[in-house]
Amino acid sequence: MTEPLDLLGMADELRAMTNLSLRFTKDPYQIERHHRILEIAAELAAFSAQAKIAELKPLFLHDQRYITPYSVVETATFDDTGRILLMCRADNGLWGLPGGACDVGEAPPTGAAREAWEETGCIVEIDHLLGIFDSRIAGEETLHHLYIFLFHGRWIGGKPRLTRETIDVGWFAEDDVPWADLFGRHETRIRHAFHWQREPTIPVYFEREPWTPKPTFQHGT
């Protein structure tokens, strides 16, 4: 059976390459053509994600800083009984690990601790990197290519509280995690965190995708 086309991934790649090209041209005709390519990429993304083109076109045209994958952080925080800290998102009612984008000038572990505090009210100490997950390889349906740094955190203070981003926050034993109501591909990362909690000698996880050189284009051949 033929593999289905990854239209969202193709649109995302086309968008990033076009944004990069826009940085190296001042030709108004080239700029106009590149803007049209961004519109086409938005149309492909809207078709794939079943979204409204009118909502995606402004995003694709105005966010021209996007030329490389974005870095985001998530924290798997455990208490002394081995329970994991999860939050229920206000935007879609699904559960997941606290996390978000790092701020400029902020180290990834610092960003992970900050996001955990802002979204759950708990103070955590980041002590290990558990893995680096690639959103494209993992099958996350996002409008940006993400590198997700998953950290292990140890709860050292604060109590779960609701924020503007959460409608519920709680501690869960592995058997009690709401597995059927998790957002995106959080299940993979939560299971990996529990695995590390049981076996802290396992290596840092990273996506293994083989790379081979692509043939270069030769003029006149």
Please count the other Cβ atoms lying within 10 Å of the Cβ belonging to residue 99. 23
99 & 166 share domain: yes
Q: How many domains does the chain have?
A: 2
DSSP three-state, residue 122: strand
3-state secondary structure of 21: helix
Give pLDDT tens digits for 22-66.
878 888 888 888 888 888 888 888 887 777 777 778 877 777 777
Q: Give yes or no: residues 191 and 112 share one domain.
A: yes
Residue 220 lies in a domain: no
pLDDT above 90 coverage of the chain, percent: 53
Q: Is 132 within 8 Å of 149 (Cβ atoms)?
A: yes
DSSP 8-class letter at 93: S
Residues 104-127: tens digit of each pLDDT: 789 999 999 999 999 999 999 999
Residue that terminates a domain, selected from 34, 62, 90: 62
> How confident is residue 2, by pLDDT bands cut at 50, 70 and 90?
very low
Do 109 and 54 lie in one domain? The reply is: no
Average pLDDT, the chain: 88
Kindly indicate the confidence band of residue 213, based on its pLDDT and cuts at 50, 70 and 90.
confident
What is the distance between the alpha carbons of residues 201 and 195, in angstroms, rounded to a whole number? 10
Residue 168, domain member (yes or no): yes
Enclosing domain of residue 186: 70-206
pLDDT band at 221, cuts 50/70/90? low
pLDDT of res. 132: 96
